[in-house]
Structure 1
Amino acid sequence: MTDTTSSAEAPAILGARAYPAALEWIARRAEAFVIPLAALVVGMVLFSLFILAVGKSPVLLYETMWRGGFGSWFSVQNSLSRAAPLLLAALCVALPARLGLVVIGGEGAIVLGGVGAAAIGVALSGAPSFIVILAMGVAGMAAGGIWIGAVGALRHYRAVNETISSLLMAYIAIALMNQLVEGPLRDPASLNKPSTQPLADIYRIGNIPGMDVHWGLVAGVVACIVSWVLIEKTRWGFAARIAGGNVRAAQVQGLAVGPLIVGFTALAGGFAGLAGMLEVAAVQGSANASLAAGYGYTGILVAFLARHNPLAIIPVAILLGGIDASGGLIQRRMDLPDATVLVLQGMLFIVILFSETLYGRFKAFNPDLWQRAS
């Protein structure tokens, strides 16, 4: 049977077929971008109403926020420094989410990772710097991985709700950190603010050349890329997505759901523990109460706003890092509390949680609509 389509008609036919296919491709991906962006805008509008209620100008506030977060090279570097732990803290939420788990206790893994890294750094004092920094990283990841991995084990083997258990274990971790820092690991010279012994300069992590930003930013970006490859390009990630969609179906297919849950939660906690190690080795130089700075809780907002996509976490973490960095300037210029940015983060989180109910409700984002159109 011969093909009667002429060479002149072929491009038109291909174009007619490609156009609906392109619309279908856009529809599949637009929902994950449009709804979070709309939630971000709505949250900022609600925050503007709050600022008006306290007698301040929202326009001036957002201008000050931009100037404090991204208005100069100094501000950008400050924002990137604050984004570094947020990248790793957000992964602590995003990785378990692919299995259908809501883990919000990354703060506990961060503080324990910092304490573990500080303890190893002091214990190995005198060893080569490379060995000590590597050991600190392993100790931080191990502490965080064991802590959050226990949440996954409780969820699978004892059916304990991971949201509640991870949150409660975060409070336990902070109490344990305070006990260790104020007790057996305390530096006798730290009088007003108990802390561990300071790390020697050779065991500190320096800055990226040409920038006033420590190498933790690079570690966070690499962790996000590796996590994306793990989820999207490996059989473990494929199995995790199946288990996250339907645990029963995954078990029927013979997937080892238990090891998947424990493994992904342990890896997620390991990234949060690495964030604590970087705070000690790159920022503070010792473990103290400042480790509980709220990065774990802000990481929840970053992960949800990024729809648990490791690559999307990178720009969202930088945005939230800039908002966090602008708090001091807002306090000085507008006579508002430094915690004003926390109000904004809270409003954004509420709106983003509400927006979760909107997915799948708009026909424009339904690929079947464009398939029928073709």
Structure 2
Amino acid sequence: MQSWRRTLESLCLSFGAILVGLLLFGIFCAAVGANPFAVYGSIWKAAFGSWSTFQNTLIRASPLMLSSLCTALPARLGLVIIGNEGALIMGGLLAVSVGLTLGTAVPPIIVQMAMALAGILAGGLWIAAAGALRHYRAVNETISSLLLNYVAIALLNHLVGGPMRDPSSLNKPSTYPLAEVNMLGVIPGTRVHWGLVYGLIACLVTYVLMQRTTFGFAARTAGGNVRAARIAGLPVGKLTVITCFLAGSCAGLAGMVEVAAVQGAANESLNVGYGYGGILVAFAARHNPLAAVLISLLVGGILASGGILQRAHNLPDATVLVFQGLVFLVVLYSDSLYGKIPFFKEKPIMVTPPSPPPSPGEEPVVTA
């Protein structure tokens, strides 16, 4: 019963936070002179109104699913990792480097697997560094992972504008493009690339790993009480580094998908904000990988609607970022309500202790 109540409370708080975010966004739209209901209608039309527009949502949801795991997995250990953007960038940079190095000398499937492995390693090691600093040197993981984002962005700007720059990329500095045969294709009958499948598989696998295995149980135990976990003999340091590596590898894979399925090269578009959007998805999903799939679709739909808001309502394209920010603030506030709503609290069961046996020679008391 307790588990059922907690699940229901989590769902209600998550969807309630999104609804409150919608309300606040409507107030913002009204304040700038737009009709909130017309704006909502345009967002729905651009995100889910037809199969064609829904495919745009799926394309944007793919990296959000993967990058959200970069925050969701360490949260099981009690860590707040927000280095998603940096891990995504590093994964994309190393993936495109491997793809350009291999070129067309080997079969495309081998090149794609090598790029995926490169992205996984780059992102995993990037976030594992933040986890190791937290465990072995007591460096705050939130600050260190945030600062690693800036380091990754600086490396991206330096490499695509210098050593790795394609001289023909004049207006938008980029690396040399990947060979067409090495690009990730699309799912037959759609415009959606295979990165969506990667995201769905990653969310399913990580859910099983954290909820149905001894490794996940050990990670949750360490996250609940580190001291008790150490007394029980759990390798807290190893759990921390491995979990952070797995988290970063998902974001790194998202970077590989962006360069191999969308951009075709590494450029400033890697720093488009999917990593930061993944943080919002992870918190809104309460760090549940399966719930992250649904939240990613919602956030992906919001991102896909930026253009229509500009054309139909004369709102800036960045208006959708205001919506994201409002939802993120409300979601963070809703965390303070978890476990405090009386309706979802487990009602204690009153157990009447048995009456003591009668003393020798004493008549038992019989009640009617």
TM-score by length of 1: 0.92
The question of whether the paired residues in 2 share the 8 Å contact of 1:228 and 1:310 is answered with: yes
Secondary structure in structure 2 of the residue aligned to 1:367: coil
| Deviation per residue, 1:113-155 (Å, 9 max, x gap) | 1110110001001211111111000111111111111000000
CA distance in 1, matches of 2:195, 2:238: 29
Q: Counterpart amino acid of 1:339?
A: A
- Residue 209 (str. 1) matches residue 200 (str. 2): no
Report deviation, 1:37. Answer: 1.2
Match of 1:48 among 22, 26, 48: 26
Q: Which residue of 2 aligns with 1:116?
A: 94
Mapping 1:57-206, distance limit 5 Å? 57-125=35-103, 126-206=105-185
Identity over the aligned pairs, expressed in percent? 57
| Range with greater deviation from structure 2 (84-93 or 193-202) | 193-202
- Residue 242 (str. 1) matches residue 221 (str. 2): yes
Report deviation, 1:262. Answer: 0.6
Q: Which residue of 1 aligns with 2:311?
A: 332
Q: Counterpart amino acid of 1:354?
A: Y
- Residue 309 (str. 1) matches residue 288 (str. 2): yes
Q: Which residue of 1 aligns with 2:5?
A: 27
Secondary structure in structure 1 of the residue aligned to 2:163: coil
Match of 1:352 among 331, 338, 357: 331
Q: Counterpart amino acid of 1:43?
A: G
| Deviation per residue, 1:6-53 (Å, 9 max, x gap) | xxxxxxxxxxxxxxx5xx554232111111111111111111111111
The question of whether the paired residues in 2 share the 8 Å contact of 1:28 and 1:367 is answered with: no
Structure 1's consecutive aligned runs of 4 or more residues displaced over 4 angstroms after TM superposition are: none
Structure 2: tracts of 5 or more residues without a match: 352-368
TM-score by length of 2: 0.93
- Residue 296 (str. 1) matches residue 275 (str. 2): yes
CA distance in 1, matches of 2:3, 2:259: 44
The question of whether the paired residues in 2 share the 8 Å contact of 1:120 and 1:139 is answered with: yes
CA distance in 1, matches of 2:126, 2:231: 29
CA distance in 2, matches of 1:361, 1:51: 32
Q: Counterpart amino acid of 2:66?
A: L
Report deviation, 1:197. Answer: 0.9
Secondary structure in structure 2 of the residue aligned to 1:206: coil
CA distance in 1, matches of 2:34, 2:12: 30
CA distance in 1, matches of 2:163, 2:33: 49
CA distance in 2, matches of 1:183, 1:25: 54
| Deviation per residue, 1:72-126 (Å, 9 max, x gap) | 1111000000000000010000000000000011100111111101100010012
CA distance in 1, matches of 2:335, 2:61: 24
CA distance in 1, matches of 2:82, 2:150: 11
Secondary structure in structure 1 of the residue aligned to 2:61: helix
Secondary structure in structure 1 of the residue aligned to 2:336: helix
Q: Which residue of 2 aligns with 1:13?
A: none
CA distance in 2, matches of 1:90, 1:110: 11
Cα RMSD after superposing both structures: 1.2
Q: Which residue of 2 aligns with 1:16?
A: none
Report deviation, 1:222. Answer: 0.2
The structure that is helix-richer by fraction is 1
Q: Counterpart amino acid of 1:139?
A: A
| Range with greater deviation from structure 2 (188-197 or 54-63) | 188-197
Report deviation, 1:253. Answer: 0.6
| Deviation per residue, 1:319-370 (Å, 9 max, x gap) | 110011011011100000011110010000001101110011112112235x
Report deviation, 1:192. Answer: 1.9
Q: Which has the larger radius of gyration?
A: 2
The question of whether the paired residues in 2 share the 8 Å contact of 1:61 and 1:330 is answered with: yes
Structure 1: tracts of 5 or more residues without a match: 1-20
Q: Counterpart amino acid of 1:91?
A: L
Q: Counterpart amino acid of 1:55?
A: G
Q: Which residue of 1 aligns with 2:358?
A: none
The question of whether the paired residues in 2 share the 8 Å contact of 1:90 and 1:313 is answered with: yes
Q: Counterpart amino acid of 1:277?
A: M
